[in-house]
Structure 1
Amino acid sequence: MIPITDGNFQKIICFYLFECPARSIRTENKKANETKTPDQPHPTKRIYYGRISRMGKTLAERGIEGGALNTLRAAMLRSAGKEFELLTGNDVASSSKKEYISLSRKDFITEGIFAFIRNAFAHGEFNVSNGWYFLENHSNGKLKGKAVLRETTLLNWIEIVDMPLDKIKKIGR
């Protein structure tokens, strides 16, 4: 049963679905004669960013980009505790830990965590039971990610994203 009237559930849905801080990322191959530019610094790909959610601020708009994304991810993982594992790779796998996220993509990991959670809620691929959130994400019938997360972890991550970068760094150490 989905706890629609629960305040924590409403806060989680509001943040991860409607105010998701991740950007959508689309890449295209550059043509043979295209070179690096300040706007497109990758040697072989053109990268385009968009907003996943129209409300709220993206991580980039919060000043969390480049190395700061790694700092944010470290803080998120540390706050989740020793019973949490983040898995990335070509195949989605289950973890032996109580709490985990497994994503098929290895790139854009930090923003990918938020996009994954957003997509699970947006497409109704979730269940909530006794303070635990069970999330999945499919694309074209293929499993792209799955997670088992404590409600407290999801709420802590909201707080961390809203912190100034110096506080995020302290949590990640």
Structure 2
Amino acid sequence: MAWWKPKRISANNRDLNEFLYNFVLHCPSSIEKKEKTGKGKNGKVIYKSRYDAVSACECSFKRRGITGHILSTLLAQLRRQMISIGTYRKIKSSESVEATVEEIRRNAKAHDKEFDLLVFQDRNDMSETEAIYYYIRNAFAHGSFEIKQTKSGAIYYLESAKNGQIKSQMRLKTQTLKKFANLMNMTPDQIIALRKSK
């Protein structure tokens, strides 16, 4: 089943313009690259990690000091509603995103038929939080999305694929994407305060 249909998108969509500004131009993710730095005494190659920001706007989580437990707090906020209804799933790169999405849609016990849904393949070159933002960025940057109007408002069907393999499919409401944008723009102290307010 096709997750989204290619369509021309209106330039007069204020929410979409906000999402392109945040998720594409200011994507906070970084990709880890391994560089050879020489050989150890035992002859094994020594590698050093380098982190390349996806956006050149100097807005990556790492640059802003959002790492470790602060990044984990942010992740908890991103997935909280979906985890409680079973519509958030991180899967292995060998597993099928499409099959997982279909299984969730069949078995979800959400009262809202247009529930938020987020399925993505794990990455070994970035954190789980960064992977979510990276996949959202890819869907918007490559035009791999559709906006569907419902009684409760616009819903975004997002897909990220590489070399014909689907890496992520998401169905997120406008207000959910706005929440994700607000969270990514918080300072480390603001994110830590979210944990303290629980």
Shorter chain as normaliser: what TM range? 0.7 to 0.9
Q: How does 1:20-31 map to 2 (within 5 A)?
A: 20-27=27-34
The structure number with the bigger radius of gyration is 2
* Counterpart amino acid of residue 178 in structure 2: L
Partner of 1:137: 160
Q: CA deviation at 1:33?
A: 2.1
SS across alignment from 1:54: coil
Asked if 1:148 is matched to 2:148, the reply is no
SS of the counterpart of 2:50? strand
Instruction: Pick closer, same or farther for the CA change 1:138–1:167 going to 2, 3 Å.
Output: same
Provide the residue aligned with 2:44 in structure 1: 33
Q: 1:64 to 1:84 in 2, by over 3 A?
A: farther
Q: 1:164 to 1:80 in 2, by over 3 A?
A: farther
The two structures have a TM-score, normalised by structure 2, of 0.72
1:102-156: per-residue Cα shift (whole Å, max 9, x none)? 1111542100001101111111211111211111111111111111111111111
Residue of structure 1 aligned with 2:192, choices 164, 169, 172: 169
Choose which of 11, 15, 22 in structure 2 pairs with 1:8. 15
What stretches of structure 1 of length at least 5 have no aligned partner? 36-44
1:78 aligns with 80
Taking structure 1 as the reference length, what is the TM-score of the superposition?
0.81
Query: Deviation at 1:81?
Result: 8.2
Contact 2:82 2:117 in 1 (8 A): no
Give the root-mean-square deviation of aligned CA atoms.
Answer: 2.5
How many pairs were matched up? Answer: 164
From the superposition, tell whether residues 151 and 61 of structure 1 become closer, same or farther in structure 2 (CA, over 3 Å). same
Give the distance between the partners of 2:75 and 2:132, measured in 1 at CA. 9
Paired-residue identity, %: 25
8 Å CA contact 1:137, 1:144 repeated in 2: yes
